Amino acid sequence: MKKTFWYRALAVLIALLIWQAAAMAVGNKILLVSPIAVAARLATIWREKGFFSTVLYTMARILLGFVLALAAGVLAAVAAGRFRLIEYLLWPYVITFRSVPVASFIILCLIWLNFSQLTVFIAFLIVFPVIYANVLQGVRSTDPKLLEMAELYKVPWYRRFFYIELPSIRPYLLSACTISIGMAWKSGIAAEVIGVVTGSIGGALYQSKIYFETADLFAWTIIIVILSVLTEKAFLWVLRRAFAGMERV
Amino acid sequence: MSDIVLKEITKRFEEKTVISDRDFVFPGGKISSVMGPSGAGKTTLLMLIAGLSAPDTGEITGVPERLSFVFQEDRLCEDFNAVANVRLVTGKRIPDEEIREELLRLGIPEESLSQPVREFSGGMKRRVSIARAILYDPELILLDEPFKGLDEDLRRNVMDELLEKLHGKTVILVTHDPEEAEYMGGKIISL
């Protein structure tokens, strides 16, 4: 475990050195900016006016889209698990969300919606099918003998959900959340870039393209990755705590 | 309390006929024991009475609305503790304190009450399943080999608890142990 960590750290260091060497060989900070320049930019970028409001703008919308998709996905999957008809009715939407390119949806949303809803909607569209498919699989994996027991004892649906279905959904839900938070960030920001949403992270990325500020592009990218990892960890922590709390009741 | 009457019952699983054109009467408010070799259809009989499985032919009458079933597999919610497993079926109708007392009477150690039942031994899970069936306060209780995996002392303890709590209710006990059937008393039905 510890050994792996050091090997990985060493590999990252080597990669950074290669990047630095390549940047020096190219000698053009628009084409390839050096890691040192990116680090320097990172140190100053967050002190600029509007940085936190930009981050907050995008983060709030991505998380809102994610949470809405999570709630809708779980509800839809539980309903579909119980009634085949609902699964069939939802099928065309799920297939569409999954197979249509995000870019098409983004353009369509730009026609339908205003800028401030765009990120929320795109994050929702991307996350919903992932949550739905995984949770449905979890519902399907619920032990039929436990469900039979619940039927015999006439357990009301909310208690059956809480005690029997939720525990079997849990591992599927956790892995679906892990995958989809990252996807929500990527697609949400892609939407902001295409829509040129001012005051958003995607908007900032677009600005760096216009002004050939490659250091800004890299700095923002690193910030996005950090935010994505942090929100993923924080959300999973909350979810695990919630599950652990439930077991203690 | 009315008798439970099964008339001309046949139950097949694919090609195999498990119960063939049989009649049974289980007296209401009393204990009956069903005995027979394994594969004779004892569990199937309980599933039919519980309504969890339908007979191919025949008719079942007199089964009350509220019934409990101690399944051969314990069918517990493994992530939850013993009290929560009982509360699943009782809801808030019974205070936690009463659930706890029943579990203690059935010999679950006090310090285990807050552990998830996945950490329980087979015998402990069995007794949680029995506590759940008792506290549901049924009119009819179906017991499928409920004492399997319990040692001699515990078995006595659990049987006494069942006899006390289920007095006046219809009890159908499936067992292959004549001693158990005798101890619990009542009618003995052979399959």
Digit-coded pLDDT (tens) for A148-162: 999 999 999 889 988
Residue A109 confidence (pLDDT) above 80: yes
Cβ of residue B94 closer than 8 Å to a chain A Cβ: no
Give the structural domain span for B117. 80-136
Number of folded domains that form chain B = 2
In a domain, B34, yes or no: yes
B78 vs B70: CA distance, rounded Å:
16
Residue carrying structure tokens 């999570």: A70
Give the B window 149-178 contacts with A, CB below 8 Å: none
Nearest CA in chain B to A147: B75
- Which residue(s) pair with B81 in the sheet? B116
Mean pLDDT of B143-154: 89
What is the average pLDDT across B64-90?
94
ipTM above 0.90, yes or no: yes
What's the angle, vertex CA A224, arms to CA A221 and CA A228, rounded to 5? Answer: 145
Co-location of B59 and B37 in the same domain: yes
For the segment B145-153, the average pLDDT, to the nearest whole number, is: 88
Which CATH number do you get for residue A81? 1.10.3720.10
| Rounded Cα distance, A132 and A183, in Å | 15
Residues B62 and B143 in one domain: yes
* Residues A63, A151 within the same domain: yes
Q: What is the model's pLDDT at position A69?
A: 97
B55 shares a domain with B13? yes
Q: Is the pLDDT of residue B16 over 90?
A: no
**pLDDT value for A1:** 63
Distance (Å) from the C-alpha of residue A225 to the closest C-alpha of chain B?
A: 35
B69/A164 CB distance under 8 A? no
User: Do B109 and B168 fall into the same domain?
Assistant: no
Convert the pLDDT of each residue in A208-230 to its tens digit. 999 989 999 999 999 999 999 99
Supply B110's token pair.
């006090």
State whether A28 and A42 are in the same domain.
Answer: no
Shared domain for B127 and B144, answered yes or no, is no
Question: Considering the domain boundaries, does residue B173 fall inside one?
Answer: yes
Tens of pLDDT, residue by residue over A21-44, are 999 999 888 889 999 999 999 999
Q: Is residue A79 domain-shared with residue A200, that is, in the same domain?
A: yes
What value does the mean pLDDT take over residues B111-123? 92
* Each residue's pLDDT tens digit, B34-61: 998 888 889 999 999 999 999 999 999 9
- Contacts with A247 from chain B: Cβ below 8 Å: 79-81, 84, 116
A22 with A54, same domain: the answer is: no
Same domain, A74 and A22: no
| Same structural domain, A25 and A49 | no
Q: Are residues B22 and B46 in the same domain?
A: yes
**What's the CATH code of the domain at B41?**
3.40.50.300
What is the model's pLDDT at position A7?
A: 94
Q: What is the domain range of residue A2?
A: 1-32
| Residues of chain A contacting residue B80, judged by C-beta atoms under 8 Å apart | 163, 247, 249
pLDDT-based confidence at residue A204 (cuts at 50, 70, 90): very high
Q: Does A141 lie in the same domain as A71?
A: yes
pLDDT of A92 reads 95
In this structure, are B117 and B157 located in the same domain? no
